[in-house]
Amino acid sequence: MLEQNTENTTESYRSNALYKKDLKKQIEVLLANDSYITWLEKFTSIYPFFTDVDSLKTTDINVKNLNTFFRGIESYAVRNGISRKATDYGYCHLVQYNNICYEIGVACTTTSYTYCQRLDNFEGSTVIDFNEVINEDLSLFEECVEKLLKKDIPAETLIRIFNNVLAKHTKK
């Protein structure tokens, strides 16, 4: 019996690790460019408020991805010292893109769900500029290159390595 419980626990850890790895990859994809937030802009022009529970009523996979998108925004906020905004039923972050602001958060009532609300007025609030979210990885890359240059690694060597890595990943 103990052996079976150990196997179940090990399998549970493995599946949890795979879930976290998959979730991290999904977040990276949603935050890597403006595809999701551009979809959000179009969708909220028709539906200014929606929840990820609404995914049960629609075939649009992006509605279901709202929770994953929020988790990515939450991670960005934590890394950058941006506090959550308290709401009546939970918490949120305000995200701005193309002069449109979105309140994206988690509400905890009898059930828990992620929601998005398009806002007209957001002055006086801490707002996350989605352009900065997209550029965060580029900023990290730039910092790494600067550190390597300060270590007197020739620029030609860095360019050659960068081109090799780029070629390897674009052949797929």
Q: Which residue in the block uniquely carries the two structure tokens 């790895």?
A: 21
Q: Where does the chain have alpha helices with state H? A: 2-31, 35-46, 61-64, 66-79, 130-150, 155-170
Q: What is the pTM of this model?
A: 0.72
For each of the chain's 172 residues, which pLDDT tens digit applies? 445 555 555 555 555 555 556 778 888 888 888 999 999 999 999 999 999 887 667 777 889 899 999 999 999 999 999 999 999 999 999 999 999 999 999 999 888 999 999 998 777 778 999 999 988 777 677 777 788 888 888 888 878 887 877 777 777 5
